[in-house]
Structure 1
Amino acid sequence: MGSITSPDENLPLVDPNAPENHPKSHSKDVHILSLGFLLVFSAYGAVQNLESTVNDEGDLGTISLGILYVSFMIFSLFASFFVRKLGSKKALLLGTTGYWLFTAANLKPNWYTMVPASIYMGFCASIIWVGQGTYLTSAARSHARDCNLHEGTVIGNFNGEFWGIYATHQVIGNLLALFLLKDGEEGNTSGATMLFFVFLCILTFGCILMCFLSRRDVSLEQPNESSISCFSFVAFVAKSVVTPLFDTRILLIIPLFAYSGLQQAFVWAEFTKKIVKPALGESGIGGSMAVYGAADAICSLVAGRMTSSVSSVTWITLGGSSAHAIILLWILLKYSTTSGVLGMVYPLIMAAALGIGDGVMMTQINALLGMLFKHDMEGAFAQLKVWQSFSIAVVFFLTPYISLHVMAGVMLIALCIALASFFILTLKLEKGFSPR
């Protein structure tokens, strides 16, 4: 696999004659993309963290998130087609509308507003994340080529910057939630309404910022997509879903994809509801998730700077996963809600460790896909979102019926399987095996 870290000269998504291929514009676009996602997810991330507690009547919040991620999973099967059809910039712009609508639905939460908004947001989430992975990797490759830099290092640096800035959304959004819900009664609707209104304003600024991204999606491989037939669409989707499953690399990474979704859903649903809320109260969710976001951001930046090859991805991922393993073992063997200072400190320590693991994992998975799948970035990132959203949806639907300890046990087993599979992939890549 000698081509893994060498610059790819045949880039399907970047027009080498386009004016935005000036080296400075690549960095500028990464800054804009990162800040745009920071604003959008500062609002949505905090909304999602609060869903299971603010909209707890009839488990409306939890079930809405479950529906959202089922929709996310289904539409991810088609996401690569829509991103190719629209171009990643337009996909990013369209994707932001789903987050805006879902947040707006929380101003009047009921089954008739939340369910349709969840379904539509699943579609938007699928295209915005495939578009993000495609756009960021294209920018990194162009920058490496134009500046004659090591491609793997640039991909790692760009992913480190994006995920580091993106992760701080947990700090901003959740601190807003902490202060606006502070001193309010449990389930205080006036405080929640004000919070959601502020989030809508932040989302609007994020949507506007995305408009300033350079277009870098000129497809050189599919000139006739504008007149695509229904049969061609079905064939394209079938190929994008089935073909990657014949690639040994994808099969060996799928367990890691699934675990990355499990650990995120664990934080959003189980951790906030069953560990943070009993110890710190509803308003304390914002503070603990701010700690989570700060640790996530710092580790994303550091991990991105350390990334240069598949080998470095492997060892960095192992280090980040160790933080998760320690927390899961703590929950299984010893943890229980206590009073006093320690009762307040333990959830914050857990939040920091979970943030460290998430920051490392998301940075490294995205960098790895950028290194390995140069000719079908959309398909690779779509597979990531299919398996992530599937595992997230499973957690949200099972949360009302399983205990915290059972969930921690399932997570620990999934983590061991994911790491074992990933190490097998690394060994095979070092031996230079044929991936198909």
Structure 2
Amino acid sequence: MERNLKNVLVISFGFLLLFTAYGGLQSLQSSLNSEEGLGVASLSVLYAALIISSMFLPPFLIEKLGCKWTIACSMCCYIAFFLGNFYSSWYTLIPTSVILGLGGAPLWSAKCTYLTIAGNSYAQKAGKIGRDIINQYFGVFFLIFQSSGVWGNLISSLVLGQSPQQVEISEEDLKCCGAYDCITAAANNTTAFKKPEMTLVYTMLGIYTGSGVLAVLLIVTFLDQIKANEVESEKETMKKESPLSLVLATFRLLKDKRQCFLIPLTMWSGFEQGFLAGDYTKSYVTCSLGIHFVGYVMICFAATNSLCSMLFGKISQFTGRKVLFSFGTLINLSCIIALLLWKPHPSQFAVFFIFPALWGMADAIWQTQTNALYGVLFEKNKEAAFANYRLWESLGFVIAFGYSTFLQVYIKLYVLLSVLVMSMVGYGIVEYMESKESPRPPTPVSKEITGAPAQETPLWSVPAACIVYGGNYHSKNAPVCECKSSRGRGSKGCTMAEDHNTKDTLKPLVFRLHDSVPKMVREVLMERGWSEFDKRQQDKSDWNLYWRNTPFHVTDHRNIKPWQRLNHYPETVKITRKDYLARNLKRMKGIYGSALYEFSPVAFIMPNDYVKFIAEYSKERQSQGRKSSYWICKPVNLSRGRGILIFQDIKDLIYDYVVIVQKYISNPLLISGYKWDLRLYVCVTSFCPLTIYTYEEGLVRFATEKFDLSSLDNVYAHLTNTSINKFGPSYKKDKVGIGRGCKWTFSKCRSYLRSIGVDDLLLWQRINNIVTLTLLAITPSVPLTHNCFELFGFDILIDDKFKPWLLEVNCSPALHLDCSIDATVKKGLLHDVIELLNYKQIDTLRQSKGVRTKASCASNHRLNALSLLLYNLSWKLQEDHLVKRP
């Protein structure tokens, strides 16, 4: 068995053994330790300690002990709680609850860290995507772990059900069960609340403790310690922040109104789970049926919850979250009203199981959809968002268990009802706020873009340097891009430090690479005489270029020195992620007209646009009869052709996550019967003014099987991604000939197009037009950030009418070498990108340690609408000239 998978199974079964014990014991606390509310008080203290622990302990313990020993020591904290229940009192349960709470957060953090490192480690060895392997590992873990709720409750019911002293509960005692159960009634109801025989309790606790000890032994004996180099790699991949920074970020997020309105909904999750575990089990089940039925009832809840979590995850693709939240509210509202009115009696045996089943169904909605909601709303600040989620949910648990011993059950139900109503009001406000921020219907001019109506802008007031198109760049003659200074215009101009005669006084240029950067980047920089940054021997700011495949942290941009460059701008994800690109192009199309942005296929973001897609699909189906259009479905957060589905019949549309559905270009221009596309490299050196360079050479990628619309499931005929086609039967290592894995350069492609009568100059002007208009869609929203550049990969498809279509825009286009054409194009590309950035000038600043002022621009970074219209006019004039030329 593969080492990493073995470790995943060890952790999974270790957690299964531990939480089989803890889950069963938690369900019994309100019934087993009902004297003076000791059981629920211990749970309240436990979750309070968990809140404090999650803020400070996990990073410290993981760094000092490592993941393996943090897991083992944290499990021992759970065993201490099990032992405290053998002699339950305020002096044993409260301290052990604190110990468990302090160990809970490090346990889960260490588990997540271990699985993440294991997934990335295996992915690196197997040449796969780390995120995919991590998802698989977490899937295996939860598949095994989720069954712990069944086994723990089954053990308690089987053991406690053997008591020979189970007597029938009197009718008088039954009147004190249900919504009007209270502390005094519980004290008098000696029949229902009598503890089982202590021998049975000790037997159950012995099984639970033994299960916990086995979990620790399993981890200590069979779990491998993570290697030091893997830990260091993970620390570099995941930006490490101090616990205090995370705490501050958590509370800073409260400045976002959406987070404030979501607090009741998040706390509701703790309230409703606390009521079921602390009050329903005690005042309804134990009071009416006996403590030995608690386990069976909670099994019903756990099984329904697990099943519905998977079911609602599928349904949400078609209904959206609003429908599911409404359904969950309806279920809980009905249950609360019914519990207020219901007088439990043993003769209504099935009803005792119906309520937890319905509660489990609703809880599945709250757990899956609330987590998903946080992920969508706070995508740029996930760590702080989910820290808020854990904080407010845990606080809900603390309050629910805390007041459990002081209030009658019917009052608790009214509290639940109030919190549920407040939750839905807050959630409704958040949805309303989101709808207001979604793309609006077409308007003549967007105030976000222009700041003023177009008709009020005089022709002569157009900014002097709104768009700078650098043109093609190649070889040593590449122009140097700079902000154009505007003499005499004061602060409205853009200025950069002047160039200096560097002579021989410069220090060697220093580059810094992230672990995942292809080795060719290092080779090219070494060829140019650069040296690699060594954090052990050099000052942390003594570097010129930091290159990584993933976006930089906001602090990297904030702390950048004048002599340094980063290879990513912030916010460019707005065109490099498929759904964001579609949304921004749709917005620009609505503002400036569809004719200007007709290069983008019609797109729908699923599941949010499911109804709109159905309407469009039905409309085309009716107009074209059985010959409906072809559609392509792409996961929004995957690359390299993974997860793509091409279909004609909507019955074939299946997806498990957020996807984008677009019109499939079913009439591509073919070469020898094979589909092909262009990978165009574009370098942006400034967004103020927008300065664009397109690389003269690029790659033409071919499918490895002939194009055929009758076989839509044949990815080797419809996709051109090398990562897909290299597994095809026609792919050959020599890559000689179309259809065998070969690539062309742009030069060869343009020569071929001229040979068949295509005006390649006009075609390339249209492609450049696509590049510029796409980048204009995000220019106003890119923060004014100094000393950055961005290398994009634009994927362009040409149809049989010689019209270019934009397929997608890639952040950090692949720079790995697959063939000799790759080496020719990509190596020259990297050399010319470095030439573009004029590093001799920047290194002068590094030598003087930043005495000079950073490059600055006082522009308000708003794109003028008339400038865009004039750009379009100038393009149309160029196109007419090109069309009419002899």
Which band: TM-score by shorter chain? 0.7 to 0.9
Say if 1:120 and 1:260 are closer, same or farther in 2 by CA, change over 3 A. Answer: same
Deviations, residues 188-216 of structure 1 (Å, cap 9, x unaligned): 21111111111122223334555648968
Say if 1:397 and 1:197 are closer, same or farther in 2 by CA, change over 3 A. Answer: same
Equivalent-residue separation in structure 1 for 2:342 and 2:409 (angstroms): 11
Question: Greater shift after overlay, 190-199 or 375-384?
Answer: 375-384
Q: Which residue of 2 aligns with 1:331?
A: 339
Q: Which residue of 1 aligns with 2:273?
A: 264
Equivalent-residue separation in structure 2 for 1:179 and 1:245 (angstroms): 47
1:102-141 to structure 2, matched below 5 A, reads 102-130=81-109
Question: Greater shift after overlay, 114-123 or 369-378?
Answer: 369-378
Equivalent-residue separation in structure 1 for 2:88 and 2:157 (angstroms): 21
Equivalent-residue separation in structure 2 for 1:322 and 1:88 (angstroms): 42
- Corresponding letter in the other structure for 1:220: E
Question: Greater shift after overlay, 291-300 or 105-114?
Answer: 105-114
Deviations, residues 241-297 of structure 1 (Å, cap 9, x unaligned): 422322344333322220110011101111011111122111111111111111112
Say if 1:150 and 1:92 are closer, same or farther in 2 by CA, change over 3 A. Answer: closer
Q: Which residue of 1 aligns with 2:507?
A: none
CA displacement at 1:92 relative to structure 2: 4.5
1:31-46 to structure 2, matched below 5 A, reads 34-46=12-24
Q: Which residue of 2 aligns with 1:6?
A: none
Residues 168 and 296 of structure 1 are in contact (CA less than 8 Å); yes or no, is this contact kept in structure 2?
A: no
Say if 1:115 and 1:132 are closer, same or farther in 2 by CA, change over 3 A. Answer: same
- Corresponding letter in the other structure for 2:283: K
1:1-400 to structure 2, matched below 5 A, reads 34-78=12-56, 81-82=59-60, 85=63, 92-130=71-109, 165-184=144-163, 185=165, 186-187=194-195, 188-208=197-217, 212=223, 218-220=234-236, 235-236=244-245, 238-306=247-315, 312-332=320-340, 334-340=341-347, 342=348, 344-370=349-375, 377-400=382-405
Question: Greater shift after overlay, 410-419 or 284-293?
Answer: 410-419
CA displacement at 1:380 relative to structure 2: 3.2
SS in 1 for 2:162: coil
Equivalent-residue separation in structure 2 for 1:266 and 1:305 (angstroms): 28
Q: Which residue of 2 aligns with 1:8?
A: none
SS in 1 for 2:86: coil
SS in 1 for 2:235: coil
- Corresponding letter in the other structure for 1:327: C
- Corresponding letter in the other structure for 1:107: F
SS in 2 for 1:283: helix
Q: Which residue of 2 aligns with 1:402?
A: 407
- % identical equivalent positions: 26
Equivalent-residue separation in structure 2 for 1:330 and 1:161 (angstroms): 38
Q: Which has the higher contact order (CA 8 A, sep 6+)?
A: 1
- Corresponding letter in the other structure for 1:174: N
SS in 1 for 2:78: helix
CA RMSD of aligned residues (A): 3.9
Say if 1:324 and 1:38 are closer, same or farther in 2 by CA, change over 3 A. Answer: farther
Say if 1:36 and 1:384 are closer, same or farther in 2 by CA, change over 3 A. Answer: farther
Equivalent-residue separation in structure 2 for 1:376 and 1:131 (angstroms): 21
Equivalent-residue separation in structure 2 for 1:144 and 1:415 (angstroms): 43
Equivalent-residue separation in structure 2 for 1:305 and 1:135 (angstroms): 28
Residues 79 and 382 of structure 1 are in contact (CA less than 8 Å); yes or no, is this contact kept in structure 2?
A: no
Residues 45 and 398 of structure 2 are in contact (CA less than 8 Å); yes or no, is this contact kept in structure 1?
A: yes
- Corresponding letter in the other structure for 2:272: Q
The question of 1:417 aligning with 2:422 is answered: yes
Equivalent-residue separation in structure 2 for 1:308 and 1:160 (angstroms): 19
Residues 134 and 377 of structure 1 are in contact (CA less than 8 Å); yes or no, is this contact kept in structure 2?
A: no
Richer in helix (by share): 1
CA displacement at 1:307 relative to structure 2: 5.6
CA displacement at 1:143 relative to structure 2: 11
Residues 88 and 131 of structure 1 are in contact (CA less than 8 Å); yes or no, is this contact kept in structure 2?
A: yes
CA displacement at 1:133 relative to structure 2: 6.5
Deviations, residues 129-179 of structure 1 (Å, cap 9, x unaligned): 45566777899999999867999xx97x98777666544322111110011
- Corresponding letter in the other structure for 1:331: L
Equivalent-residue separation in structure 2 for 1:398 and 1:58 (angstroms): 12
Say if 1:209 and 1:123 are closer, same or farther in 2 by CA, change over 3 A. Answer: same
Q: Which runs of 5+ in 1 are unaligned?
A: 1-21, 226-231
TM-score normalised by structure 2 residue count: 0.40
Residues 62 and 106 of structure 2 are in contact (CA less than 8 Å); yes or no, is this contact kept in structure 1?
A: no
Residues 85 and 205 of structure 2 are in contact (CA less than 8 Å); yes or no, is this contact kept in structure 1?
A: yes
Residues 279 and 404 of structure 2 are in contact (CA less than 8 Å); yes or no, is this contact kept in structure 1?
A: yes
Say if 1:262 and 1:369 are closer, same or farther in 2 by CA, change over 3 A. Answer: same
Equivalent-residue separation in structure 2 for 1:428 and 1:96 (angstroms): 43
Residues 66 and 396 of structure 1 are in contact (CA less than 8 Å); yes or no, is this contact kept in structure 2?
A: yes
SS in 1 for 2:342: coil
- Corresponding letter in the other structure for 1:246: K
How many residue pairs are counted as aligned between the two chains? 397
Residues 174 and 287 of structure 1 are in contact (CA less than 8 Å); yes or no, is this contact kept in structure 2?
A: yes
Say if 1:272 and 1:373 are closer, same or farther in 2 by CA, change over 3 A. Answer: same
Richer in strand (by share): 2
CA displacement at 1:302 relative to structure 2: 2.2
CA displacement at 1:70 relative to structure 2: 2.1
Equivalent-residue separation in structure 2 for 1:81 and 1:150 (angstroms): 22
Q: Which residue of 1 aligns with 2:688?
A: none
Question: Greater shift after overlay, 191-200 or 85-94?
Answer: 85-94
